[in-house]
Amino acid sequence: MIITLPLFAQSKKELQAEVTKLKAEIEQLKKPKDVELTDTVKKASYGLGVLVASNLKSQGGDSLDVEALTIAIRDVYQNKTLKIQQQDAMMIVQTYMQQAAEKKNSKLKESSAAFLKENKTKEGVITTASGLQYKVITAGKGKAPKATDNVTVHYVGKLVDGTVFDSSVERGQPVTFGVNEVISGWTEALQLMHEGDKWLLYIPQELGYGDRGAGGQIPPYATLIFEVELIKVN
């Protein structure tokens, strides 16, 4: 026992070191391998992955299991036996994506409604019968446009998180358009304004781009915030 105890202690220590090493190697294997885009095929493959993943996320599929998705792609390319056949897969995916989109849209609607509910209680914010909200920054004394008029304006458009999606101010050039040629929130607000007015508009999604969003920058059901200066009624 006097002789074997140190040997046992040494082997136990070595065993613990080996276990630690194996655990580290397993964790390393779990990490996704990076890819070097050294040729056209790899670039096209990676690019396709970007397009597919972006499309899935935009439709509410951001809770998908990326590992299972990757294994399915590998199984198809390597002609392995599929765990779910293509016809069944179509039905499963269609149901999942529909439910995911509904869940995402429900959150977007709730978020927009919550913002407007809180915003209407702030000092200086006026709410019209349609749900449009506005706040006067500067009061002008010029003409008020009719629906059939053209107007020249400067504006900055933002989402409720502060993201700027469009700005004539940044471009350094005001824009001219017909009062009835824009989203209904603008059409209503412009007819309440006068030349020289600068207002903050808070446009509910029903008076904006609704369930379709716009241009990839405005998501569905988004409340829009515009700082609008009515320069001239033409």
Question: Residue 225 and residue 165: Cα distance in Å, rounded?
Answer: 10
- Helix, strand and coil in the chain, % to nearest 5: 50, 20, 35
Catalytic residue among 115, 155, 202, 221: 155
Catalytic residue among 202, 218, 226, 231: 226
Instruction: Please write down the long-range contacts of 115-123, taking CB distance under 8 Å and 24 or more positions apart.
Output: 115/160, 115/223, 116/202, 116/204, 116/223, 119/202
166 annotated active-site: yes
Catalytic residue among 75, 96, 149, 165: 165
**Residues in contact with 138: Cβ distance below 8 Å, sequence separation at least 6, in sequence order:** 196, 197, 198, 229
226 annotated active-site: yes
46 annotated active-site: no
Catalytic residue among 209, 221, 225, 231: 209
Q: How many CB atoms lie within 10 A of CB 168?
A: 17
134 annotated active-site: no
- Rounded to the nearest angstrom, the gap between the alpha carbon of residue 154 and the centroid of all alpha carbons in its chain is 26
Catalytic residue among 115, 134, 166, 225: 166
Three-state helix/strand/coil letters over 87-110: HHHHHHHHHHHHHHHHHHHHHHHH
Going by DSSP bridges, is the β-strand pair 164-167/150-159 parallel, antiparallel, or unpaired?
A: antiparallel
Active site residues: 155, 165-166, 183, 209, 226
